[in-house]
Structure 1
Amino acid sequence: MTTFLEPPRLVVHLIHQLDIGGLENGLINLIKHMPPDRYRHAIVCLKDYSEYHAHIKTRGVEIISLNKREGKDWGHYLRLFRALRALQPDLIHTRNLCGIEGQLVAALAGVKLRVHGEHGRDMSDLYGKRLKYKLLRRLLRPLIGHFIAVSADLEHWLIDSVGAEPQKVSQIANGVDSIQFHPRLGPPAAVGPAGFMQDNAFVIGSVGRMDEVKDYGTLVEAFLRLIASPHPAHQRMRLLIVGDGPQRAACLDTLTRAGAAHRAWLPGERTDIAQLLRAMDLFVLPSLAEGSSNTILEAMASGLPVVATAVGGNPVLVHPGFTGILVPPRSPELMAAAIADYCRIPDMGARHGMRARSHVIADHSLPEMARGYLRVYDALTHPHGPCPGPAPHS
């Protein structure tokens, strides 16, 4: 008897913009670790994409930009409808508030299988309680075949606030490439402008999009408090924030006015994130809201202790006294105190960083993340039985 293998199903991923960021890196890693003979992929960007992820095209992934204007751009709905009609995907996977309206457009375009993921909230709705967004999610909920949440916090919110049926919600933890992101094997590389790094420098680092929800102003204020202290250990401190966004100029201005610009380096967007993480001694994330932070996972895989705000999924990733320290959001004095502990007690940072990497390897592998998404896609595309085929790439 001849066996006919069905062609791979097409999944369209609808996102805001394909640029440097945790959600975007997670999407690229997911595509790389899904079995290509079962699923192929296209990425539709509401805005546009940068060259940072353009290499994914070599894997046969089509990237489409809708070039949505700021504010309400009614024309982008028509452009999305036309794109979906041209692609004819088997399944659409939208992400976050910016993409959820795509569920209605997809339904009108005839896309029968629809998944929506929540990766974290933005500044306009930090706690998911804003009435108009809650109503929007509730109105669109019947169109969504399955929800994915990257943290327990978001999973509970989808069930309790949005009204999603528990059996239609899966929590899938983000994964990290623990081969690309690894601890430094020797002395730290001399990064930054001349005079930034010294032999005994203690580099406080962070990576992320510098927008309001990430609250990098609090980290800058904590840093300025520390270097103003007479404690001799604090004079070794340097600040490295990798990323771009509307808050970068304000942070640079604050550092310049304080006379501390020579002790900080804010290089904007970079492609050598793994190498820059290995130049850090401590990773700090001052966010006001998070889902499950990819940058925290990358820092932990790099053997770094983490100071983070106790919001969203951060308390699941950072175990106080074991892999890092949690502080309340918008608390520069408590953040400064946590940073000071690591600067003054180097052995503590080494212990916490080693445990952090072990935790990531055990619980946040990329193949395990891909298996979670594969189970969701398979349950929708093959509702009457399992789909035979290879597992995600190891």
Structure 2
Amino acid sequence: MTLRVLQLLTQARGGPVDHAVDLALELAALGHDSHLAGPPGPHLDRAAVGGVRTHRLVVRRGVDAVGLRSAAALLGDVRPDLLHLQDRRAGLVGRALARWRGLPAVYTLHGVPDQLAGLVPGNLPMAPARRRDRLAYLTGERLLAATPRTAVVTPCEALSAYARREVGLPPTRVRTVPNGVGRAWLDAPVPGPRRTGVAAAWLGVMEPVKRVPELVRAAARVPDLDLHLVGDGPERARVESAVAGAGSADRVRLLGFRPDPVTHLRAADLLVLASAAEACPMALLQAMASGLPVVATRVGGVPEIVRDGIDGLLVDAGSEDQLVTALRTLSADAALRARMGAAARRRVIERFTAERCARALLAVYEEVG
């Protein structure tokens, strides 16, 4: 049965955006009528090239009457069989519209606000949870999830546990479907040995939860290790200050946001994430698909992806010494990097592809439809 699926985004970059694009492309490849709506940007262009029908839609923070009217008009034009909502604002707007139109809807809970990060098993607390935060994000989500013909999908078991225990969602409303990387990541060849020296890549949005200044300080303690930071965000100034303070400006490259980071990942020898909280990071999956071993913190859903000592090395969040030791271990041993990188790529091919993700989500679509 062919489905017309409309995915809604209200942000233009980050892991949920990469996931939505890969999913939209995979649905199209599987023969479904795949639509993706969101703010303009290269993500829409990439989806359109692969046969996805794209729509420009801007829904701003707060009460955005214009954005709501545009979203309602889009539903009337597309007439989807199902709505898939890929970020928190889309989940709020989309489920209200789905209820109004009598449409089934699936909301992917990709993560939680910093104030609630510590409620997810394995994550560190980032900020005190105020009463209004609990009201807005826990009670609010519980009420939205009660919308008829809806389901909440999480990309890892850690977030599913949060949805059940903290939000209070019934197990029948929660499904765990890990993210997956698109075919382009798997089809391209993995490069062989490169130039002398070792480079660690970091990929993401520079937010406090990512702990990039701490990563900069740790990397500076590893001799001859270069650090390539692919991304931008509100923490950029703090990152630059950390580089200056660590005296490692000659070994750190701040590359800014890149809509297609594949070239930069394949120019690196390993990926490193020092986050205080994560779910199922697309950057992690993309690096592993590229044949890179990883050093990552043991938070959220990361241990569900990375097998410590096989695909990479896991460290405790907040421990700079453990992070330094893991970076030194991998940077000093090319054979270990090659072995772990090959295992990481096999891991993604076996368990974390966009095709596998799309087929699991299609089963969820059928349940709520």
Instruction: Mark yes or no: TM-score above 0.5.
Output: yes
Structure 1 partner of 2:26: 33
Q: Give the match for residue 293 of structure 2.
A: 305
AA in 2 matched with 1:137: E
Correspondent of 1:183 among 174, 178, 190: 190
The separation in 2 between residues aligned to 1:184 and 1:340, in whole angstroms, is 22
Match of 1:18 among 1, 8, 12: 12
Q: 3-state SS of the aligned residue for 1:157?
A: helix
Question: Paired residue for 1:42?
Answer: 35
Contact map agreement 1:241 1:265 (CA 8 A) in 2: yes
Which residue, 218, 225, 235 being the options, matches 2:221?
225
Residue in 1 that maps onto 2:209: 213
- Residues 342 and 104 of structure 1: is their aligned pair in 2 closer, same or farther, counting only changes over 3 Å? closer
Partner of 1:62: 54
Find out whether 1:113 has 2:116 as its counterpart: no
Q: Does 1:97 align with 2:101?
A: no
Structure with the greater alpha carbon radius of gyration: 1
Question: What is the match of residue 195 of structure 1?
Answer: none
Q: Could you say if the C-alpha distance between residues 181 and 135 of structure 1 is closer, same or farther in structure 2, counting changes exceeding 3 Å?
A: farther
The answer (yes or no) to whether the contact 1:327–1:335 under 8 Å persists in 2 is yes
Q: CA deviation at 1:104?
A: 4.3
1:364 aligns with 2:352: yes
- Which residue, 323, 332, 340 being the options, matches 1:335? 323
C-alpha separation between the residues in 2 aligned to 1:112 and 1:67?
20
One-letter identity of the residue aligned with 1:135: T
Whichever residue aligns with residue 21 of structure 2, its letter is I
Q: Is the 8 A contact 2:59 2:68 kept in 1?
A: no
232, 245, 270: which is aligned to 1:244?
232
Mapped partners of 2:351, 2:59: distance in 1:
37
Residue 152 of structure 1 is matched in structure 2 by 157
- After superposing the two structures, state which structure 1 stretch, 157-166 or 29-38, moved more: 29-38
Q: Who is 1:137 aligned against?
A: 141
Letter in 2 for 1:312: G
Q: Which runs of 5+ in 1 are unaligned?
A: 1-5, 189-198, 227-233, 382-394
Q: Which runs of 4+ in 1 moved over 4 A?
A: 35-38, 70-75
Q: Which runs of 5+ in 2 are unaligned?
A: 120-128
CA RMSD of aligned residues (A): 2.4
Give 1:121 shift. Answer: 2.3
Number of positions where the alignment pairs a residue of Structure 1 with one of Structure 2: 352
Distance 1:62 1:323, change over 3 A: closer
User: Contact 2:42–2:259 (CA<8 Å) still a contact in 1?
Assistant: no
Between the aligned residues of both structures, percent identity stands at 28
SS in 1 for 2:101: coil
Q: Provide the rounded CA distance (Å) in 2 between the counterparts of 1:37 and 1:223.
A: 43
Distance 1:125 1:63 in 2: 32
Q: For 2:339 and 2:345, locate their aligned partners in 1 and report how far apart those are by CA, in whole Å.
A: 10
Question: Which AA in structure 1 matches 2:26?
Answer: H
Q: CA deviation at 1:239?
A: 0.6
Specify the SS of the correspondent of 2:221: helix
Structure 2 CA distance, aligned partners of 1:221 and 1:169?
Answer: 39
Q: Which amino acid aligns with 1:131?
A: R
Q: Give the secondary-structure state (helix, strand or coil) at the position aligned to 2:186.
A: coil
Determine the C-alpha separation between the residues in 2 that align with 1:355 and 1:75.
49
Cα offset, 1:264, TM superposition? 0.9
CA distance in 1, matches of 2:114, 2:90: 16
Partner SS, residue 209 of structure 1: coil
Q: TM-score, normalised by structure 2?
A: 0.86
Provide closer, same or farther for how the CA distance between residues 357 and 108 of structure 1 changes in structure 2, counting only shifts above 3 A: closer
Shift, 1:217, TM fit: 1.5
Alignment counterpart, residue 167 of structure 1, candidates 172, 178, 183:
172
Taking the aligned partners of 2:335 and 2:102, their CA distance within structure 1 comes to: 55
Pick closer, same or farther for the CA change 1:263–1:162 going to 2, 3 Å: same
| Letter in structure 1 aligned against 2:151 | H
